[in-house]
Amino acid sequence: MSQVQKSEAAASCLEGRRILVVGAGRSPGARQPAANGNAACLALARAGARVACADRDLEAAERTVGDISEAGGQAMALQADVSDVAQIEGMIDRAAEALGGLDGLVLNVGVSHRTPLSGLTPENWDAVLNVNTRAHVFCAKYALPRMAPGGSIVFVSSTASRRPGGRNPAYETSKAALSAICRAVALEGQPAGIRANTVVLGLIDTPMGRAATQARPDRLAQPMPFGRQGTAEEVAAAIRFLLSDEASYINAVELPVDGGMSAGIVLRK
């Protein structure tokens, strides 16, 4: 197969798939750097999928739908605050009904209050865990019965799950928990041929990443693989792959998208 043929195959690897992305919105203004959810939705649509873009901010979801429409893809916007479990089942049902079923689910939603251990309260701990962990459990629970055989779920995690340097224990714990949740979902989905995997993100240049850098200027002072941060588009390519049939025998894995950072492969000055 030529490089052109390979590119064409990648461009249509999700043709006809029906995929819900939770945490899909884009903030107003400049589109760069892209947010992970927005970039994932665009990549999936360009690969032929019809995408339901869910976000707690409906206007943010609609901006992503607009980006997809400009690119010639098909998408719809949904509003749901997944910190409220009562809204999750309705979101899944609306997406499945609008798309005519579900073949894929991307759980990109997440928050970080960057609160150190000394500043934790039950309330701010729960605020992070309710979005970053509990919501993922119930999204998967309600999605699995609606998903077609051979479907795929992707959880979006972080190398913060393995590194305490950010002094952000609620966020770090919430991301570490996703690995166990992913394995449980993979086991539950296996009889129907539904896979579940996790992408573990390193330093990615996104609006949320830039906010973290403002709070922790040392983030960019450390050596980085290839001497740079990753991009949301590189994250989106990994998500697209895990949702495709090219990953049909990949299940319950953690795929680092970090340039080798978690393996200690960095460019030292």
The first and second tokens of residue 127, run together, are 């605020």
Residue 106, beta-bridge partner list: 21, 154
Beta strands in the chain (DSSP E): 18-22, 50-55, 74-79, 102-107, 147-158, 195-201, 204-205, 230-231, 254-257
Angstrom CA distances, 192 to 20, 22, 103, 239, 246, stand at 18, 22, 12, 21, 18
Amino acid at 176: A
Report whether 176 contacts 132 (CB < 8 A).
no
- In whole angstroms, what is the distance from residue 90 CA to residue 197 CA? 24
- In whole angstroms, what is the distance from residue 205 CA to residue 230 CA? 6
Report whether 64 contacts 38 (CB < 8 A).
yes
Report whether 160 contacts 166 (CB < 8 A).
yes
Report whether 253 contacts 59 (CB < 8 A).
no
- In whole angstroms, what is the distance from residue 242 CA to residue 201 CA? 14
Q: Token pair 């919501």 is at which residue?
A: 135
At residue 93, what are phi and psi to the nearest 5 degrees?
A: -65, -45
Give yes or no: 142 in active site. Answer: no
Q: Which of 142, 155, 171, 241 is catalytic?
A: 171
Residues with catalytic roles: 171
